[in-house]
Amino acid sequence: MNRQRRYGRTLPEALGEYTRRDPARFHMPGHKGQDIPYGNRLTGWDVTELDGTDNLANPAGVIAVTEGAYRDAYGARASMLLVGGSTSGLLTMSLALGRGRRVLLGRDSHKSALAALALADHDARFLLPEVNPTEGLAGMLTPRQVEEALQAQPADAVLLTSPNYYGFCADVEGIADVAHAYGALLLVDGAHGAHFPFSPQLPDFPAKKVDLWCVSVHKTMAAFTQSAVLHVGKHCPMDPERVRRMRNMVQTTSPSYLLMSSLDRALYVATKIGYQRHMERVEALRARIGRINGLRVLDRDSLGYGAVDMDLTRVVIDVTERGIDGPQAYECLVNSGIVCEMCDAYRVVLITTPQDPDEWYDRLIDGLTHLPYGMSRLHKEPPYIAMGRQVCSLGEAMLGPTERIPLAGAVGRVAAVAAGVYPPGLACLVPGEEIQGDAAAYLLQQQAKGFALFGVEEGRISCIKED
Ligand SMILES: Cc1ncc(COP(=O)(O)O)c(C=O)c1O
């Protein structure tokens, strides 16, 4: 068959092969391939709106019960199930603002946030997070930065990402106070922090202060991929029914009952089993990794530059003292049967959850102990963070006519897409921005070093078409 000839296997075969390898999975989804109570009943539970199964668009039965349980667990005024990930949560939040509003957001925002703002034709203003030079990492937005930006020019909403991929958290409460003082709503992309309410050792989330936020339950809890939840804060001035209407506009009319019931189970598991034991074993794991020659686990010492707390279940291992880079470490671990969530130039990032079998931690320690040594300690360079001139709105840039141009010759043109180095995915260029020589040179240099770029395909970038 053609499709098999091209890749040597079909999609189900690729999944079968992955599960047969039985790797220690330090990546999402948070259920880690462990049993959530479906067993071989998967197709049996894949139903539609029936007598007794309620209707996600307007829940009044079993789905309303699950949504109510989320609302109570997260201290929200209303909670809504999402079957399109936090991506659909960001779309909902953006549409709930209306059209053409002024939104302040960090340059570290996920691409789904940019798409969400573009589709509602909002006027987006970017803020650059500070840079942590010791770690060579972007920090988080700060209340002071947000205040200065709001003083300079008002906005209808601030869209904050917290936690980030590395588990660092911004001062959400401080930013909420500032946003509200200037008449702006605070929306939070909390995709990576779904599990925060379930342990006092995890970062606090000021649910009372935030207007709208979404969490990708599938990333860190025992739910199927795409399962997420959108919350309306207790003091959000918006009518939850408006938010629900927008949520319904961006989701399928045939939501998967497998995803929705996995959301129900994930909450049950997190509440009943809790995170206490997991926090203890992760602490022990972090200490064991710290004792391995040339490895360092990022901890609270790395806070600052806008980060006020961190998620200790996210195990970020700096491998530079070992003289190897992140991609090398990632690859070696894969060869030892350990798959991490991601790597950047200097680190590997692992997602741990209560669903991890204990045995994986011994395998991980073994794999890390046997990582090779390089010639000399790697010097960390700060990530490229700079802002170009914003020529037009995200919507105009992303939805208008475009042409693909070799990046080397695109200086001075207006980007129609976000572009940067992946991982970690921080944008060097955002849609609507004039391409600076420095940004293009940095991207080309990183590509030459072997790093993958996003927003640049076969050396070309989509730019706004010129007449
Ligand atoms: C910060 C952030 N926000 C939003 C998303 C989108 O979440 P989802 O995959 O649940 O749609 C991601 C996905 O990785 C993310 O990292």
Residue of 93, 94, 105, 110 best suited for mutating to test ligand 1, as the one with most atoms within 8 Å of CB:
110
Mean pLDDT across 141-155:
98
Query: Given the DSSP bridges, would you call strands 402-406 and 296-297 parallel, antiparallel or unpaired?
Result: unpaired
Cis peptide before 423 (omega within 30 of 0): yes
**Six token digits for residue 74:** 């997260």
- List, for residues 263-275, the tens digit of each pLDDT value: 999 999 999 988 9
For the residues of 82-137, what is the DSSP string, one character each? ESSHHHHHHHHHHHHT-SS-EEEEETT--HHHHHHHHHTT-EEEEEPPPEETTTTE
pLDDT of residue 5: 56
Question: Does ligand 1 lie within 6 Å of residue 228's CB atom?
Answer: yes
Question: Does ligand 1 lie within 6 Å of residue 162's CB atom?
Answer: no
CA distance 135 to 418: 24
Residue of 28, 192, 247 best suited for mutating to test ligand 1, as the one with most atoms within 8 Å of CB:
192
Mean pLDDT across 73-99:
98
**Six token digits for residue 86:** 């936090």
pLDDT of residue 13: 86
Q: Which ligand 1 atom sits nearest the alpha carbon of residue 82?
A: 10
- Separation in Å, CA 442 to CA 106, 129, 344, 436, 438: 20, 18, 16, 10, 6
Cα 165 to ligand 1 centre (Å): 9
pLDDT of residue 38: 58
Domain with CATH 3.40.640.10 in the chain: 42-272
Question: Does ligand 1 lie within 6 Å of residue 189's CB atom?
Answer: yes
Least confident range from 31-35, 142-146, 305-309: namely: 31-35
Q: For residue 275, is it left (φ>0), alpha (ψ between -120 and 50) or beta? A: alpha
Domain with CATH 3.90.100.10 in the chain: 394-464
Given CATH 3.90.950.10, say whether it is the number of domain 42-272. Answer: no
In the predicted model, is pLDDT for residue 309 greater than 70?
yes
Question: Does ligand 1 lie within 6 Å of residue 262's CB atom?
Answer: no
pLDDT of residue 10: 85
- List, for residues 353-381, the tens digit of each pLDDT value: 999 999 999 999 999 999 999 988 778 88
Question: Does ligand 1 lie within 6 Å of residue 342's CB atom?
Answer: no
Mean pLDDT across 41-54:
89
- List, for residues 447-461, the tens digit of each pLDDT value: 998 888 999 999 999
**Six token digits for residue 254:** 């045939």
Fold of the domain built from segment(s) 13-33+274-369:
Aspartate Aminotransferase, domain 1 (3.90.1150)
Residue 102 bridge partners (DSSP): 123
- With 0-12 CB in 10 A as exposed, 13-18 as middle and 19+ as buried, what is 280? exposed
Q: Which CATH number fits domain 394-464: 3.40.50.1700, 3.90.100.10, 3.40.190.10, 2.170.190.11?
A: 3.90.100.10
Considering only CA atoms, which residue is closest to atom 9 of ligand 1?
85
- List, for residues 167-184, the tens digit of each pLDDT value: 999 999 999 999 999 999
